[in-house]
Amino acid sequence: MAEEYKEALLEKQNYHDGCPGCKVEQMKQLRRGYPYLELSFVWIIVLSTSLPISSLYPFLYYMIEDFGVAKTEKDIGFYAGFVGCSFMLGRALTSVFWGIVADRYGRKPIILLGTISIAIFNALFGLSSNFWMAIGTRFLLGSFNCLLGTMKAYASEIFRDEYQATAMSAVSTAWGIGLIIGPALGGFLAQPADKYPNVFSQESLFGRFRYALPCFTISAFALLVTVLCCFIPETLHNHKLDSLSHDDSYDILEAASHESSPSTGKAGKNERKASQSLLKNWPLMSSIIVYCVLCLHDTAYSEIFALWANSPRKYGGLSYSTNEVGTVLAISGLGLFSFQVFVYPLAEKLLGPVLVTRYAGALMIPIQMSYPFIAGLSGLSLSLMLNCASILINVLSVSAITGLLILQNRAVDQSQRGAANGIAMTAMSLFKTVGPAGAGILFSWSERRLNAAFLPGSHMVFFVLNVIVVVGVALTFKPFLTTGRR
């Protein structure tokens, strides 16, 4: 009798008609082909959340200059770092909260909230008239930017097991491309009245607010994504049994197990208790720590690359305009898209996520060492070498991060993925808060030591970036980084 009740209860829990997550599981069983629809959902949502994060970097140098807070040209990088880090500070303070909410109320409400907040606060950032308004709007944008952690959990749930590498690759690829296309949009669309006077007059809205057009464009895309998100399925299993609570159901199942095998019931109870503490889950926590180190490098590199490309030649930069920076980043985005869609799943299947992360990190080191020497080139050779280096760095950086996303989602059960990804987002955001501020200060300091005997100028900047990568690669070895059972 107990065995029959156990089977009936399990069936009710796993295939309850009112559970959206169960409906998604049934849909996954029926849809046996390649998950193009699911891939599209993940792509556009993650892209919408990553576009505003770094879209400001190509014009931030000039925005700070327009605010008039920097006393000298060498101080611009210092103030730019604080605008960049305000977003990450806001996200660090709220990520765990949004992860818990997503585990309790579902992924879809949090996704909708995130896309709406992007549309509102990113538009307000484009209308910033002073330094403190820029910091405040970016902080609010980060505080309500609850999408990445939720989308990592969502992607792992909506894809079948054989496409889990594709799921995490989709998240990291859309994220990485957004971090590249965002700055490209910022570069092409900033200061439109100066660049396109036949279209935008100096008296128009975009003439008075010189950096509003790229922000409004991204906000419009976020609004479109919000409408599309109304039609995505919920993936969270949320069973509401008629007369039994979850704990009661578990006790009945445990009692039924005791009748047939007392030791099995005891083991199940211990396993259930052990699964409660995410902070004691070392496969999860070790992958999060490595992930944070590599994300610190990623955000520091993004800001330094834009500042370095915009800065004058006399300071070791390239004297690039926002359009030229946008072109380089757009080309890098195309290269990243091609690699992650066609090559990364094969590399992950052949090597596994740990080795992909390790090899990608190691290959970044010599490429970053070449940047100060690339600045000495000109003409076609400069364009060719810079674009090749930019493509490789972005491809390798996103590949390394993708492997760690796979490890994180393998280390926890579905009921904890939202909270686990919230912890990862909080830790990563704390590191990324340090990244832009530290990068801005480092870059400003490097311009004051152009004649130093040891690592002069930009050599010091890229040396520090390489030190961060070396630390990340070192942490991928055992006994530090361990993998989950699944």
CB 75 within 8 A of CB 67: no
Per-residue pLDDT at 383: 93
CB 188 within 8 A of CB 180: no
Same domain, 142 and 221: yes
Q: For residues 122 and 402, which has the higher predicted lDDT (pLDDT)? A: 122
CB 275 within 8 A of CB 457: no
Residue 9 confidence (pLDDT) above 70: no
Q: Report the percentage of the chain scoring pLDDT > 70.
A: 84
Two tokens, residue 20:
């959206």
Domain boundary, last residue among 181, 205, 236: 236
**Preceding amide of 479 cis, omega within 30:** yes
Per-residue pLDDT at 244: 40
Residue 25 confidence (pLDDT) above 60: no
Render pLDDT for 322-348 as a digit per residue (tens, 0 to 9).
Answer: 788 888 888 888 888 788 778 888 888
Same domain, 223 and 356: no
Residue 213 confidence (pLDDT) above 90: yes
Distance between first and last Cα of the chain: 33
Residue 2 confidence (pLDDT) above 60: no
Average confidence (pLDDT) over 116-130 = 94
Domain boundary, last residue among 208, 236, 264: 236
Same domain, 208 and 310: no
Per-residue pLDDT at 60: 86
Contacts of 321 by beta carbon, 8 Å cutoff, 6+ apart: 187
Residue with tokens 């994180």: 408
Confidence of residue 8 (pLDDT cuts 50, 70, 90): very low
In a domain, 264, yes or no: no
In a domain, 270, yes or no: no
CB 35 within 8 A of CB 170: no
In a domain, 299, yes or no: yes
Same domain, 421 and 313: yes
pTM over 0.85: no
Same domain, 224 and 327: no
- Other CB atoms within a 10 A radius of the CB of residue 220 amount to 13
Residue with tokens 């004691």: 280
Average confidence (pLDDT) over 100-122 = 90
Render pLDDT for 408-436 as a digit per residue (tens, 0 to 9).
Answer: 878 888 677 777 877 887 888 888 888 88
Per-residue pLDDT at 259: 44
Q: For residues 291 and 177, which has the higher predicted lDDT (pLDDT)? A: 291
Residue with tokens 């995490």: 168
Confidence of residue 23 (pLDDT cuts 50, 70, 90): low
Residue range(s) defining the domain that contains residue 363: 280-485
What's the chain look like in SS3? Answer: CHHHHHHHHHHHHHCCCCCHHHHHHHHHHHCCCCCHHHHHHHHHHHHHHHHHHHCCHHHHHHHHHHHCCCCCHHHHHHHHHHHHHHHHHHHHHHHHHHHHHHHHHCHHHHHHHHHHHHHHHHHHHHCCCCHHHHHHHHHHHHHCCCHHHHHHHHHHHHCCHHHHHHHHHHHHHHHHHHHHHHHHHHHHHCCHHHHCCCCCCCCCHHHHCCCHHHHHHHHHHHHHHHHHHCCCCCCCCCCCCCCCCHHHHHHHHHHHHHHHCHHHHHHHHHHHHHCCCCCCCHHHHHHHHHHHHHHHHHHHHHHHHHHHHHCCHHHCCCCCCHHHHHHHHHHHHHHHHHHHHHCHHHHHHHHCHHHHHHHHHHHHHHHHHCHHHHCCCCHHHHHHHHHHHHHHHHHHHHHHHHHHHHHHHHCCCHHHHHHHHHHHHHHHHHHHHHHHHHHHHHHHHHCCCCCCCCCCCHHHHHHHHHHHHHHHHHCCCCCCCCCCCC
Same domain, 214 and 312: no
Residue whose C-alpha is closest to residue 333's, from 169, 148, 176, 167:
176
- Other CB atoms within a 10 A radius of the CB of residue 62 amount to 18
Residue 162 confidence (pLDDT) above 80: no
Average confidence (pLDDT) over 399-415 = 84
Q: How many whole angstroms separate alpha carbon 115 and alpha carbon 314?
A: 42
Residue 251 confidence (pLDDT) above 70: no
Residue 265 confidence (pLDDT) above 60: no
Q: Report the percentage of the chain scoring pLDDT > 90.
A: 28
Confidence of residue 292 (pLDDT cuts 50, 70, 90): very high
Q: How many whole angstroms separate alpha carbon 212 and alpha carbon 360?
A: 36
In a domain, 248, yes or no: no
Per-residue pLDDT at 269: 45
Per-residue pLDDT at 156: 79
In a domain, 267, yes or no: no
Same domain, 313 and 422: yes
Average confidence (pLDDT) over 185-190 = 88
In a domain, 130, yes or no: yes
Same domain, 295 and 162: no
Same domain, 420 and 288: yes
In a domain, 241, yes or no: no
In a domain, 418, yes or no: yes
Residue 53 confidence (pLDDT) above 90: no
Total count of domains within the chain: 2
Residue whose C-alpha is closest to residue 153's, from 337, 278, 17, 336:
278
Q: How many whole angstroms separate alpha carbon 148 and alpha carbon 170?
A: 12
Same domain, 296 and 437: yes
Confidence of residue 267 (pLDDT cuts 50, 70, 90): very low
Q: Is 123 exposed, middle or buried (0-12, 13-18, 19+ CB in 10 A)?
A: buried
Same domain, 306 and 411: yes
Domain boundary, last residue among 236, 266, 301: 236
Per-residue pLDDT at 35: 63
Residue 471 confidence (pLDDT) above 50: yes
Same domain, 105 and 204: yes
Q: How many whole angstroms separate alpha carbon 325 and alpha carbon 41?
A: 29
| Weakest mean pLDDT among 24-38, 91-105, 215-229 | 24-38
Per-residue pLDDT at 253: 38
Average confidence (pLDDT) over 98-108 = 85
Per-residue pLDDT at 336: 81
Question: What's the CATH number where 416 sits?
Answer: 1.20.1250.20
